[in-house]
Structure 1
Amino acid sequence: MPVVSSMGAARLLDASGVRAADISETRGCPLARNLRRKLRALGVTRGVRAVFSDSPRLPSTGGTDLGSAVWVTAVFGFTIAGECVRMLAEP
């Protein structure tokens, strides 16, 4: 079954860097890096579609500052929806 996975949107203010790609092609996203590592341990190196952002993140304040901006998460959601429609429309 095809999967579209949302990567991290925390500490992002710029939604222009949101992209969809194979998990092996993600960059600039700590959550995607962690997921790639875990998938690799299971023998999976590609074949999982991911929505991620390569935009710079705000610096961490050292706490549990994983807040996200509503306009960024909206773009993540719309990108996921677009990927799902594209996957369903493919022959």
Structure 2
Amino acid sequence: MVAETLAHKNARVVSRECRGDLSRCGSAGLVEREVEPGPPVAVTYRLTQRGQGLGPAMDVLRVWAGAPVDEDGHPVPYADVAHELEAR
């Protein structure tokens, strides 16, 4: 979904906003940035251990916000939900 948004004609504005958010997450130690020289230049962001550690808290927030849950009450992975929505 983010890739589709970035491919939109307003990609420069969205990209700037994402870069700012990702930069703040990097400063907080939640993500690491890797730049591969180009052309074209490719930038990859990955969660750090600290960022991955937020997973349980994010799961609780997703359930609180009404995300779909499995029979045990755990949130369904976003990729599964997105796949179901695409099938509709």
- Tell me which interval the TM-score lies in, with the shorter structure as reference length: under 0.3
Normalising by structure 2, we get a TM-score of 0.28
Normalising by structure 1, we get a TM-score of 0.27
Greater gyration radius: 2
- Structure number with the bigger relative contact order (C-alpha 8 A, sep ≥ 6) is 1
